[in-house]
Structure 1
Amino acid sequence: MASCAALPTSAGRPSRSGADMAGGQAGPELIVRRAKIVTLDPRSTVAEAVAVRAGRIVAIGGDAEITALAAENTQVIDAGGRAVIPGLIDGHAHMDREGLKPVFPSLAGCRSIADIQERVAALAARAAPGEWIVTMPIGEPPFYFDVPECLREKRFPTRRELDEAAPENPVYIRPIWGFWRHTLPIVSVANSLAIERAGLRPGMAAPASVKLETDATGALTGAIFEHTYMPVAELAWFRDMPRFDHGHRADGIRRAMRIYNASGTTSVFEEHGCAQELIQAYQAVHEAGDMTMRAHLVFSPSWSHVAPGTETRQMQSWAAGLGHGGLGDDWLRVEGLYAELGMDEENRLRATAAPYTGWAGFNYDHGMPRERAVDLLCEAARQGIRGVAIWLEMLDVFEEVNRRVPIADRRWVLGHLRTATPDEIDRIRDLGLVMTAHTNRYINKEGHILREKLGWERENEIAPLRSLREAGVRVGLATDNTPTTLFHPIWQAVTRRNRYTNDAIAPDQALSREDALRAATIDAAWVVCAENEKGSIEPGKLADLAILTADPLTCAADDIRDIVAWKTIVGGRVVYDRDSEGKDVAS
């Protein structure tokens, strides 16, 4: 049985025509009229109006035809000629992180060490002696580019300079989550009391990727340089400083949903996996009736906490919750198992913080030796659990699983598309895999590096979106949280623009505007096995719509990235209104 088979489907059920509704049926609850309805259905239909009832689309058509269906209590939105598209589906969102960013005080706007000292001193004035002061990183969100060059001194503050600002408090300036910027190192700074609380000392054992900076006398300066994208120091050593708790995570999801809604996103897929603490936060938001975003979560296992020799039995116990479509509803679903190879020293240290996961939201000890991973994924396949991975190295693992237990009809997921050769594309197609692409990184930020590494003659292997599409492989676009808008990946898929060289990376792999929109809607719906429920504007489907500030099919190409939602509708309900909520919500 295909792993996707148990997901609910409704498109294809008969829908009411305008004549049926006019002949005594209840009228629609919502009509969007005077619009350019870009349905992205198989015929590429463009309509003028859409009608919604009970959270689903009941009719599309001409403006006069659909408007005539309005009843006394029908809400009518006049789109004023704006483009309306299916709600966007983020294939690798890490949405929760966006809502966590305000938890700790920001250092945005600091242009010198004196500015940082002033910000820290103000926090210390409100804190009790001995109370931790923890801030967000130095630099400007969301990317934190050009640090410490953004400071007048072109260097990081020292422990002594932070001591001057807060002599009675431990101070820790957090590092960035490295995937926001995609350049290393990531750097945190601690003052003397924080260093003492963490038990740091010169020459102490540390992973090779982590350097505790010392001055000419051999004393710690307070700066911690980490040549790894995911912080180790704060998880392994700063154990007693404030951390994200359940309330932070639940409230953060509420904040993040609004931000993602503001750019027209209505669904997220968390393919990198979710630890129990994140799943519980989503469940709390769902139970409170606060969801404005549909979330499909993949489970992140913590193998360190599974007794050796019991992994297969554990997999079997997960089958009822993770297999055959998983558990949940149209708003929140948990389905599938994240898989990764190996477990390095850094992840072992990060995992000592469990069940706390920091920014990640996934468990750090989800990796397994290759042969064990193959065995466990074979058991997952037997139990109807979809395997989900994000690195191309997993392709041959999936093939080995398929030789033992067929998975070719089960839409296993291979995400974070970086590069793929023509042979690898054929193998992906033959396995029936679905994919997500990470254009923010591999086109916009690192495309030039990949081109230099591969050579111009192999440029078309970089994020080969067109080749995959022509091979029949469904690929969904994704933000990876930074920035939160899917219109950046849509723009990148169309223009292939690199931020450092300002030229196009593998321009032959560019998608048409319509195909790029499909990659962020109906193709992404295929990734989560929900193409019959969402991803296009068709009768019977969920009424998830984005009314946009500009038309992505006709605006200047470089203006695509700046498009946001005028209104966002999820399940027939307006969840974001730019006119009433302001213009600075989307990041």
Structure 2
Amino acid sequence: MTTGTVRTFDAQDRVTEAIAINGTRVLAVGAAADLKARATAATRLIDLPGATVTPGINDAHAHMEREGLKLRRPSLAACRSIADIQTLIRKEAQKTKPGDWIVTMPIGAPPFFFNAVAQLAEGRAPDRFDLDAAAPDHPIYIPGLFGNWGAPPGHSCLNTKALALNGITRASIPSIGGIEIVKDAKGEPTGVIIERNPRPMVEFDLLPAVPRFSAADRRAGIVASMRLYNGVGTTSAYEGHGSAAEIIGLYRDLWERNELTVRMGLVVSPSWTDANEAAIIMRDWLAQARGSGLGDPWFRLSGIHVAYGGDDRMAEIARKDLPNTGWSGFVEQAQGPKDFEELCRLALLYDLRINTIVGDRLDEVVAILERVNALAPLAGKRWVIQHIAKTERTTLARLARLGVLVTTIPVYFLWKGGHWYDAAEGDRIVPMRTMLDLGIDAAAATDNIPYNPGFTLWTMCERERRSDGKVLGAAERLTRREALHALTVSGARLTYDEHHKGPLTPGFLADLAVFATDPLTVEANKLKDLASLLTIVDGCIVFERS
């Protein structure tokens, strides 16, 4: 393949004109004329003048299966009023058997759904009477937004039949906080339920009759997701937040059928209720996830996700709905510091590497890991700290000494949630420059908000928050090369692949993305919509833009 630029990201950081692939591996990189001279009659020549080749994107916290699931339900993205929503539902009713459910996507437009209800012409969500008028013979459910896409509150909307099937009456009271059943002046439910929890619990708590995603839905969603992720240059994904058993089984089936087009690194999301049950499950049922786990460069299952913090009641009601996990794809957990430390000690005993999300509580987790590390060194065991938000350099220095791996979600805390923090403390929010200075080669990820890695690349380099455009910690900005390295090469260690995946160097796996523009030089705002012309995984073209 010849292009304008091949950015190898190898040890010498070579920039060349062309790359040659033989089978599943990179054969050579160098001058176009030199590589063309080595071509034979069987060689396929691809000439893309002006394009830029980079290593394939390795999304280190992808939640990949979600993107395709969004296509399984009718979208309300084009609806600007309740009347528009009614028109769409009438059309759905015409092709749906009377009595069967009509379930749509949330109000608003993906990927963010910000302030969607307020932007409707009426300035409110449709109530049960609005929905009854559109399709009186069907139960109708419009779910509230999933918190990672936008920002609470979410507005779930049900018609009269849907309320009745779920037993929602004037006497109904949610069992967990953050959920409000809106009622009229007479105390009757209006059909609108408002939720302020970051991850929606309303279906688990109040709506048992609403159809869940089936295994077929989830499988089709994964297949669609892979196509979408390939289209933005993603060749590998790591699911450090953990995957429920149903999700792991679906990925395993695709792997066994040779139908994966994204290399997957999966982590078990366990369903235990306490440390005693966890000890039995770790000892008797998770042998396949010990150490480097099982699989190959296409599919690897290794380690477990253990939550730090969480709400006990939310976790309880979500577990009762298993195997359904809603949009999450993982099992909800809740552990206080004492239980978390006990689980870490058990994981160390059974050689199960821990993945955990820390947010603003890195100092608490590091203190626990230091005590665990005193029992046996964690360096080399590839435990993973994720979602670092606000922290101190001294805490990061302690983390660096532990030798654990780090993944970051810049969009979540800098752009989407930057308003949670004082701009004056911006250099403490996802401080990736400090991480690099301390020797922490953090891998970066999209978290599916949005799934385009270009948006994450832009965030790492610009650090602008959504609310007012202010820069959070200009000194923590990464260069384009550093940011792209975090999105490509750094993540290989998560799946034990660093000796054969990442840089475009001879002998390494031929996983690469071809972009029309150079991500290292293109205008900053154009990074947000980065799209691949050609994506190659294992030497095979998995995406080609017409």
- Within the alignment, does 1:460 sit opposite 2:443 as a pair? no
Q: Distance in 2 between matches of 1:481 and 1:550?
A: 23
RMSD between aligned residues: 1.6
Alpha carbons 2:415, 2:459 under 8 Å: kept: yes
Alpha carbons 2:5, 2:15 under 8 Å: kept: yes
- Within the alignment, does 1:185 sit opposite 2:156 as a pair? no
Q: 1:417 aligns with which of 348, 369, 388?
A: 388
Q: Distance in 2 between matches of 1:125 and 1:82?
A: 47
Q: Distance in 1 between matches of 2:316 and 2:325?
A: 12
Q: How does 1:379-418 map to 2 (within 5 A)?
A: 379-391=346-358, 392=362, 393-418=364-389
CA pair 223-531 structure 1, distance change in 2 beyond 3 A = same
Equivalent residue, structure 2, for 1:316: 283
Q: How does 1:310-349 map to 2 (within 5 A)?
A: 310-342=277-309, 343-349=311-317
Structure 1: gaps spanning 5 or more residues: 1-31, 580-587
Q: Distance in 2 between matches of 1:530 and 1:463?
A: 25
- Within the alignment, does 1:63 sit opposite 2:32 as a pair? yes
Q: How does 1:19-38 map to 2 (within 5 A)?
A: 32-38=1-7
Q: Distance in 2 between matches of 1:559 and 1:369?
A: 43
| 1:380-404 deviation digits (Å, cap 9, x = unpaired) | 2233221100113433332222122
- Within the alignment, does 1:544 sit opposite 2:511 as a pair? yes
Equivalent residue, structure 2, for 1:553: 520
Q: How does 1:242-261 map to 2 (within 5 A)?
A: 242-261=211-230
TM-score w.r.t. length of structure 1: 0.89
Cα distance, 1:409 vs. partner? 2.8
Equivalent residue, structure 2, for 1:564: 531
| 1:116-137 deviation digits (Å, cap 9, x = unpaired) | 1111122222222221111111
Question: Which residue type is aligned with residue 466 of structure 1?
Answer: R
Q: Distance in 2 between matches of 1:367 and 1:498?
A: 29
Q: How does 1:39-438 map to 2 (within 5 A)?
A: 39-181=8-150, 183-206=151-174, 207-304=176-273, 309-342=276-309, 343-364=311-332, 366-391=333-358, 392=362, 393-438=364-409
Alpha carbons 1:57, 1:538 under 8 Å: kept: yes
Question: Which residue type is aligned with residue 106 of structure 2?
Answer: P
CA pair 368-497 structure 1, distance change in 2 beyond 3 A = closer
Cα distance, 1:429 vs. partner? 0.3
- Within the alignment, does 1:445 sit opposite 2:410 as a pair? no
Q: 1:521 aligns with which of 482, 488, 503?
A: 488
TM-score w.r.t. length of structure 2: 0.96
| 1:301-357 deviation digits (Å, cap 9, x = unpaired) | 0013x8x73432321234531112111111111111101134422222222211111
CA pair 133-34 structure 1, distance change in 2 beyond 3 A = closer
Alpha carbons 1:495, 1:510 under 8 Å: kept: yes
| 1:244-284 deviation digits (Å, cap 9, x = unpaired) | 11111111111101101111110000000000010111112
Question: Which residue type is aligned with residue 340 of structure 1?
Answer: A
Q: Distance in 2 between matches of 1:128 and 1:557?
A: 49
| 1:180-215 deviation digits (Å, cap 9, x = unpaired) | 01x211110111111111111234331121100011
Alignment partner of 2:421: what SS? helix
Alignment partner of 1:561: what SS? helix
Alignment partner of 2:71: what SS? coil
Alignment partner of 1:36: what SS? strand
Alignment partner of 1:273: what SS? strand
Q: Distance in 2 between matches of 1:176 and 1:97?
A: 13
| 1:230-255 deviation digits (Å, cap 9, x = unpaired) | 12121233223322111111111111
Equivalent residue, structure 2, for 1:491: 458
Structure 2: gaps spanning 5 or more residues: none
Question: Which residue type is aligned with residue 438 of structure 1?
Answer: I
Alpha carbons 1:474, 1:527 under 8 Å: kept: no
Which range moved further: 555-564 or 465-474?
555-564
Q: Distance in 1 between matches of 2:374 and 2:155?
A: 45
Which range moved further: 34-43 or 220-229?
34-43
CA pair 399-202 structure 1, distance change in 2 beyond 3 A = farther
| 1:8-48 deviation digits (Å, cap 9, x = unpaired) | xxxxxxxxxxxxxxxxxxxxxxxx12441101112111111
Alignment partner of 1:284: what SS? helix
Cα distance, 1:97 vs. partner? 0.3
Q: Distance in 1 between matches of 2:139 and 2:200?
A: 19
Alpha carbons 2:418, 2:466 under 8 Å: kept: no
Cα distance, 1:376 vs. partner? 2.6
Q: Distance in 1 between matches of 2:422 and 2:336?
A: 31
Which range moved further: 313-322 or 478-487?
313-322
Give the paired residue count: 540
Question: Which residue type is aligned with residue 256 of structure 1?
Answer: S
CA pair 34-178 structure 1, distance change in 2 beyond 3 A = closer
Cα distance, 1:81 vs. partner? 3.0
Which range moved further: 64-73 or 391-400?
391-400
Q: Distance in 2 between matches of 1:351 and 1:316?
A: 21
Q: Distance in 1 between matches of 2:29 and 2:322?
A: 50
